[in-house]
Chains A and B, each alone.
Chain A
């Protein structure tokens, strides 16, 4: 409602200006035209508010709304000041103080000033979070932010320089601040401001603007990339001889591209790559396009040199049905909330850049990790960890942007129960031989291959780890999915002459098996001849109360398993629990060689067919025993649950 009112008055003002102009048409040319001007009042709060109108205090929506008051006792050489009571971190009404002071009415002409100044003191020495001006909750076009001003307990004058005052001919956002208790251990404090005003000091000098924090960055990218230029600051030397750095909005800068047929840059400092870079005919190397900026005519330190490799080939479009997918990052699915796509664990030696935010290339979002050594996608801080118990695979598409050397790899690591006493993790390494330079490679990794990840009900971190062997990758379509196995035909082994795969327990042969470590096993009638398994006879495995978590059933085979044409093992299972891992292990006669994988149940109290894909394991040994472990979770003893399995086979 307030906003509407304000806009109306603005419209009215414009109308009156237009009418003036119309009237002006009747004047002689020699008459001086008087341009519209705005109030040049610099004062904001001296002993009280100055010319701010009525509704000028606009707190941040999630701050403690009433943190501000006018103090009638404290003041700098006066008895009035602008008082901010920063709440304790656990205050239910808001854990920080923040507001803008916006002129209720037409903006001010601040072009004759060079700084916002104020006196401030605090109830204890603090670093004030952020303070500045130009924030108006409208365009915020000329926002200025000074961070971490050190405020002591005595009145001291502070100077926040204006990056380029000539632009501030109509500014309504004359003051803003936001400060919490991050630096006080959660304890609230009081800050007093007084003599808040814009001044022409004449001593604000030696401007040194920067973009990209003064760095000269280099980037290889593609047509369609959208790259916001950040790290925008202006630094002035003050009369004290000390520098004051402020973050300055893009509106203060004039951005330039050295070649607009490759990349354009708009007023907000957002670069759009529009065409491929040319190559130098002599050297064959790409000619970079350089993005630079000036502020009030001064060349900013820092630049972005980019090379566009041309059209970006997007990752293959995923084909999994959405109802079987939990997506972390994909344009094809609705993604679950994540804490971040790059945790920047710099204190732990992380060098990886990118992912925050994902880049936009050619209309689709993609993550570009550079300087990769390791990087994590987090889902454990402020979002729900991912329950992937029903999922069977992790999918990820990776496009390596460099030559791949022998020994290069990317290791995926999943952590469950992050920062809890039950934190566990499992890893799966993608060797460099399965990756390709400048080409997408898709991976569908059975979650059972993340050895050690015995539960996945609260996945909190997915790491990409290269140990710097590979440093620049695009990543897309990161999601978990449930592979829906089309049930294979029931096994009729009634005529079998020896116990060998496939096995349906329908023959009169003697099955040589054992339940161990607390598992009780027998060949029995199918208790649930419905659904996908109407056959008569199945194998039971009961994990008795108190059985070892590694209790299971071993079945001896009379002939070795033939993995020569397929490495996919299938089995029908019946479980009273959904989402528990079933480990299948093949062993040679002496159990000197064994391979094993997990697959999770996705239903309960009904037959389902699961798949264990041993393609990535060495299946060359003479395996003559198959061992089945239900709910193989370290530390989880048997609870008396009864499981059934049937139709063991290598998929044709």
Chain B
């Protein structure tokens, strides 16, 4: 049972097409979380590996977890090799490489904080410069801590930021739960004007409290999701853990094409959690 639930809850970041209305913005709850409780500034000068007190690696192509392609027909094989994930220059760098490796055509990395850092409510933000190119799928997101015990999307999923590499000016913020997941998730796109997400760092975050999740990019609050917006049970009242990854291909983004450029790196300046 436990294993089955792991498998199912790992099917994440499903394709999203729904765009919610902005009507709740006028009445949204804005709360200030400014007490820093946890952060990784990726400033270590001695160790080039991510802090093992905070981060776990997901390894492989999902087959070992029973979901080859990580549930989304993704093409990459995740490793913990320094080619794919390294802490240097004050940043975490996750690099997607086009190479034949363990039967996959691409390698990349996926880090998560399950059992090491999980938290209910607060402000979760990261400062990131995104990779680019058709078929790249970088994300900063969270899953409920009971993801091992219940079937996804019962555990809940909060996508603070996900991006299609072929849409360099657009990111999406989403919430998945029972009755509103994958293509039916509650989601909203945010588009930069006169700028793009792969040429400089931007802060992606949520303010999450009882009965609301506010999504923001830099200083722009662009969406709020409340129980009124979801068509099923509100499952965002338990601790969640954080995930950072760069996927390649898959249902959400489509495959790389002949114009795609590799390698591609997602640069994470910091991850900070306030309450």
- Bound-state CA distance A205–B166 (Å) is 13
How distant is B7 from chain A, measured CB to nearest CB, in Å? 33
Contact check, B196 vs A205: say whether CB atoms are below 8 A apart. Answer: yes
Q: Name the residue among A200, A203, A208 with the largest chain B CB count within 10 angstroms.
A: A203
- Bound-state CA distance A237–B194 (Å) is 14
A239 within 8 A of B: yes
- In the assembled complex, which residues on chain B have CB atoms less than 8 Å from the CB atom of A242? 166, 259
Contact check, B194 vs A202: say whether CB atoms are below 8 A apart. Answer: yes
A201 within 8 A of B: yes
Contact check, A239 vs B196: say whether CB atoms are below 8 A apart. Answer: yes
- In the assembled complex, which residues on chain A have CB atoms less than 8 Å from the CB atom of B168? 203, 205, 237, 239, 241
- In the assembled complex, which residues on chain B have CB atoms less than 8 Å from the CB atom of A239? 168-169, 196
Contact check, B261 vs A206: say whether CB atoms are below 8 A apart. Answer: yes
- Bound-state CA distance A203–B191 (Å) is 12
- In the assembled complex, which residues on chain A have CB atoms less than 8 Å from the CB atom of B164? 241
Could you mark each residue 398-426 of chain A with 1 if its beta carbon is under 8 Å from any beta carbon of chain B, else 0? 00000000000000000000000000000
- In the assembled complex, which residues on chain B have CB atoms less than 8 Å from the CB atom of A208? 261
- Bound-state CA distance A205–B195 (Å) is 9
A243 within 8 A of B: yes
- In the assembled complex, which residues on chain A have CB atoms less than 8 Å from the CB atom of B193? 202
Contact check, B132 vs A206: say whether CB atoms are below 8 A apart. Answer: yes
How distant is A113 from chain B, measured CB to nearest CB, in Å? 12
Report how many A-B pairs have Cβ atoms within 8 Å: 38
Could you mark each residue 127-147 of chain B with 1 if its beta carbon is under 8 Å from any beta carbon of chain A, else 0? 000001110000000000000
How distant is A112 from chain B, measured CB to nearest CB, in Å? 13
Contact check, B167 vs A201: say whether CB atoms are below 8 A apart. Answer: no
Q: Name the residue among B167, B168, B193 with the largest chain A CB count within 10 angstroms.
A: B168
Residue of B nearest to A201 (CB): B194
Which residues in chain A, 233-257, are within 8 Å of chain B measured between CB atoms? 237, 239, 241-243
- In the assembled complex, which residues on chain B have CB atoms less than 8 Å from the CB atom of A203? 168-169, 194-196
Residue of A nearest to B259 (CB): A243
Could you mark each residue 158-178 of chain B with 1 if its beta carbon is under 8 Å from any beta carbon of chain A, else 0? 000000111111000000000
How distant is A384 from chain B, measured CB to nearest CB, in Å? 45
Residue of B nearest to A206 (CB): B132
Could you mark each residue 183-197 of chain B with 1 if its beta carbon is under 8 Å from any beta carbon of chain A, else 0? 000000000011110
How distant is B104 from chain A, measured CB to nearest CB, in Å? 24
Contact check, A241 vs B261: say whether CB atoms are below 8 A apart. Answer: no
Interchain residue pairs with CB less than 8 A apart (29): A200-B194, A201-B194, A202-B193, A202-B194, A202-B195, A202-B196, A203-B168, A203-B169, A203-B194, A203-B195, A205-B196, A205-B198, A205-B199, A206-B132, A206-B198, A206-B199, A206-B261, A208-B261, A237-B132, A237-B133, A237-B168, A237-B198, A239-B168, A239-B169, A239-B196, A241-B134, A241-B164, A241-B168, A242-B166
Q: Which residues of B are interface residues toward A (Cβ below 8 A)?
A: 132-134, 164-169, 193-196, 198-199, 259, 261
6 other A-B residue contacts (CB within 8 Å) besides A202-B193, A237-B198: A201-B194, A203-B169, A208-B261, A241-B132, A241-B165, A241-B166
